Amino acid sequence: MINLAQNTENDVVLNLTSNSSLFIFNNILPYFLFEFTSEASNQVIYFVSENIADLSARTRYDEFIITESGSTYTNLTGGTINLNPGYVWLYNVYEQTTRDNLDPANTSGIVSTGRVFYTPNTTNGYISFSATTNNIYFNQY
């Protein structure tokens, strides 16, 4: 599972290199292409983010900074994306030999799949409880 918060630089740790056929069979440290797909709208986002884990640690874990911009700004080759609040997202991570490829057809295959837990910014609403009125207010999108 990937946890992302809106308008935040999110530290994401996954186990990818140890599942990589490029690494296992060819001893090549791969780059990774992320694919996020919205279950609600089928919108697909492809992006890459630099693996910032120490080289010696990559057989145990990979670490990325994925920035959710909270606006329309994106940098798909720099790990900055914009997700629509309220959507459930699925992810695939592909291994590849190049840093900037955004086309899954040019990868070596999928090394990880899962769900993205996305926490939108609460400035669109609020959560509060009033003991005197017994009213509960919550985010509404």
Domains in the chain: ranges and CATH: 2-137 (2.60.40)
The separation between CA 115 and the C-alpha centre of its own chain, rounded to angstroms, equals 9
- Selection from 19-28, 80-89, 98-107, 131-140 with the highest mean pLDDT: 98-107
This prediction has a pTM of 0.84
pLDDT in tens, 88-124: 899 999 999 999 999 999 999 999 999 998 888 755 4
Neighbours of 27 (CB within 10 A): 7
The yes-or-no verdict on residue 70 having pLDDT over 90 is no
Q: Is the CB of residue 35 less than 8 Å from the CB of residue 83? A: no
Average pLDDT, the chain: 87
* pLDDT given for residue 120 in this prediction: 82
